[in-house]
C-alpha cells in the first residue's frame, strides 16, 4: 500500500476509496487476470497490458483518451462507448454534410448492476477517500485517483451524470513529479474543469447510495 501499512480485512468500498493495493491485487488474482484483461479490452484499454499481478494496479501504459473512454463506459451502465472529436463537417451554404459521425451503442462489458455498484464505490472515493479535493458540493460525482511508481504520472478521472473528464500530469521524458499525487493537483484541476463544463446545469442523481458494500480482504 502507498502508506506502507497493512490494514487487515476491509470492504471493497474502502479498498477503492483509499486506493489500497493489496486487496486490489488479491481480488484480481482470485477472479483471474484474464477476466481483468477482458474487461479492460472491452472498455478500450486492452493493449499492452502487464502480465504479472501488478496488472491490477494499472501499471500498463494507457492514453488519457483511452482512460476517459473506459470511465464513460462505466457511466454508460457498463456499455462501451467510442470517442469522437467532430459531430459533422459541412461546407458553408451546403445542406448535406461532407462527413458525419455515426456511432451506435457499443457492447455490454459489465452488467448494469456491476456498473451501478462501481459508480457507488467511486462516489465514496470523492466523499471520504483519496479524491476529496475533487468533490463538488451539491453534486453527485464519481472518480478515481491514480499515482504511478515513483510519481511519474498523476491522474484523476471522474464523471458527473453529464460529463466525463480526465486529468493527467507528468513529464514527457518520464521524470518523476515532486510532491504531486492524483488526489492533489489533478483532482483540483478536475474540479475546476468540471465546474466550468457544467455551467448552469442542475445536479442529477448518479446512483442511489443505500447499498451494502462488498467485502474484501488484505
pLDDT digits (tens, 9 = 90+) for 97-122: 887 777 767 899 999 999 999 999 99
Asked if 198 contacts 160 with a C-beta cutoff of 8 angstroms, the reply is yes
DSSP secondary structure code for residue 5 in this structure: -
Mean pLDDT value across residues 8-33:
94
**Per DSSP, what are the bridge partners of residue 11?**
215
pLDDT band at 88 (very low <50, low <70, confident <90, very high): confident
Residue 84 pLDDT more than 50? yes
183-202 pLDDT tens trace = 999 999 999 999 999 988 99
Q: Please tell me the pTM assigned to this model.
A: 0.87
* Structure-block grid coordinates of residue 122: 467511486
Three-state DSSP at 216 gives coil
Q: What is the mean pLDDT of the chain?
A: 89
142-195 pLDDT tens trace = 999 998 877 889 999 999 999 999 999 999 898 999 989 999 999 999 999 999
% of the chain at pLDDT higher than 90: 64
**Per DSSP, what are the bridge partners of residue 147?**
154
Cβ atoms within 10 Å, residue 168: 18
Please choose, from the candidates 58, 63, 64, 46, the residue with its C-alpha nearest in 3D space to the C-alpha of residue 21: 58
Please choose, from the candidates 10, 46, 45, the residue with its C-alpha nearest in 3D space to the C-alpha of residue 27: 10
Asked if 160 contacts 140 with a C-beta cutoff of 8 angstroms, the reply is yes
What distance in Å separates the CA atoms of residue 201 and residue 128, rounded to the nearest whole number? 25
What distance in Å separates the CA atoms of residue 17 and residue 1, rounded to the nearest whole number? 13
Amino acid at each position: 500500500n502507498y502508506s506502507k501499512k497493512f490494514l487487515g480485512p476491509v470492504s471493497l468500498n474502502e479498498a477503492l476509496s483509499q486506493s489500497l493495493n493489496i486487496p486490489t491485487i488479491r481480488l484480481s488474482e482470485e477472479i483471474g487476470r484474464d477476466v481483468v484483461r477482458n474487461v479492460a479490452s472491452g472498455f478500450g484499454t486492452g493493449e499492452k497490458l502487464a502480465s504479472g499481478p501488478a496488472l491490477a494496479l494499472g501499471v500498463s501504459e494507457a492514453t488519457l483518451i483511452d482512460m476517459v473512454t473506459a470511465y464513460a463506459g462505466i457511466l454508460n451502465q457498463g456499455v462501451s462507448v467510442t470517442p469522437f472529436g467532430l459531430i459533422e463537417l459541412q461546407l458553408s451554404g451546403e445542406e448535406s454534410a461532407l462527413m458525419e459521425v455515426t456511432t451506435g451503442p457499443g457492447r455490454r462489458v459489465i452488467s448494469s448492476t456491476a456498473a451501478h455498484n462501481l459508480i457507488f464505490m467511486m462516489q465514496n472515493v470523492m466523499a471520504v477517500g483519496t479524491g476529496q479535493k475533487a468533490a463538488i458540493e451539491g453534486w453527485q460525482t464519481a472518480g478515481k485517483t491514480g499515482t504511478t511508481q515513483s510519481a511519474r504520472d498523476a491522474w484523476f478521472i471522474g464523471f458527473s451524470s453529464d460529463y466525463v473528464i480526465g486529468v493527467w500530469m507528468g513529464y514527457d521524458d518520464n521524470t518523476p513529479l515532486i510532491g504531486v499525487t492524483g488526489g492533489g493537483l489533478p483532482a483540483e484541476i478536475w474540479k475546476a474543469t468540471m465546474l466550468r463544463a457544467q455551467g448552469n446545469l442542475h445536479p442529477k442523481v448518479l446512483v442511489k447510495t443505500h447499498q451494502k458494500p462488498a467485502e474484501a480482504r488484505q
